[in-house]
């Protein structure tokens, strides 16, 4: 499968995931969306806030690539390093978690009550991600050749195609996490 075909497939999957999220979580009350299984675990709302927070950090770079104004740094031009790092990051952030990954402080979700509009906000956010995926799939931009920094650190770099894959996997990963919270026996019981 070519990268453009893969990106089109991702866009379709994210459209389906968004519909699933709306039908699964859209009718939940604010208290249910903010219920946490324990003090150190995330609520459903925090899972969606985290997806939005972490993905949004890439939007300026995606826009620069789209407009043709993106200019890689010297570090981003080092051959082979990005491919190795990018592939490892894609493996680490799979759709189904093999093990929990501690999130970086910059991606921590809000600790205060999150409004129930987080679900509609997630849907709008995903629409924007899907637009990027479709644009890159239909353009002549070689996403595998464009090297960008990962949001967690400017030293960590990866091909844009790997970052897009990570973004999609990340959404699936945290939707699964939110479903696990909702399916807990004591869900919503304080």
Q: How many CB atoms lie within 10 A of CB 79?
A: 7
DSSP 3-state of 91: helix
Residue 6 vs residues 68, 75, 136: alpha-carbon distances, Å: 22, 27, 11
Residue 116 CA to residue 119 CA, distance in Å, equals 6
Angle, CA 41 vertex, CA 59 and CA 152 arms, to 5°: 30
Distant-in-sequence, close-in-space partners of 137: CB < 8 Å, separation ≥ 6: 3, 4, 5, 7, 8, 11
Residue 168 CA to residue 82 CA, distance in Å, equals 19
**Domain 3-182, CATH:** 1.20.120.450
Beta bridge partners of 159: 147
Full pLDDT tens readout for the chain, 190 residues:
899 999 999 999 999 999 999 999 999 999 999 999 999 999 999 999 999 999 999 999 999 999 999 999 888 787 666 667 766 777 777 777 666 666 666 666 778 899 999 999 999 999 999 999 999 999 999 999 999 988 887 778 888 999 999 999 999 999 999 999 999 878 877 6
Residue 4 CA to residue 7 CA, distance in Å, equals 5
- Gyration radius of the chain over CA positions: 17
């Amino acid at each position: 499968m070519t990268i453009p075909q893969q990106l089109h497939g991702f866009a379709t999957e994210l459209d389906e995931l968004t519909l699933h999220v709306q039908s699964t979580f859209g009718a939940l009350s604010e208290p249910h969306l903010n219920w946490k299984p324990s003090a150190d675990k995330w609520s459903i709302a925090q899972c969606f806030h985290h997806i939005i927070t972490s993905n949004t950090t890439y939007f300026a770079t995606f826009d620069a690539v789209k407009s043709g104004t993106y200019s890689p740094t010297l570090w981003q031009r080092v051959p082979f390093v990005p491919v190795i790092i990018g592939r490892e990051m894609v493996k680490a952030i799979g759709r189904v978690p093999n093990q929990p990954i501690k999130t970086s402080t910059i991606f921590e979700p809000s600790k205060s009550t999150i409004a129930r509009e987080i679900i509609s906000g997630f849907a709008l956010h995903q629409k924007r991600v899907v637009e990027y995926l479709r644009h890159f799939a239909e353009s002549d931009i070689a996403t595998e050749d464009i090297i960008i920094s990962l949001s967690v650190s400017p030293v960590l770099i990866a091909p844009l195609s790997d970052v897009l894959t990570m973004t999609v996997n990340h959404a699936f990963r945290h939707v699964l996490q939110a479903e696990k919270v909702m399916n807990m026996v004591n869900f919503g019981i304080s």
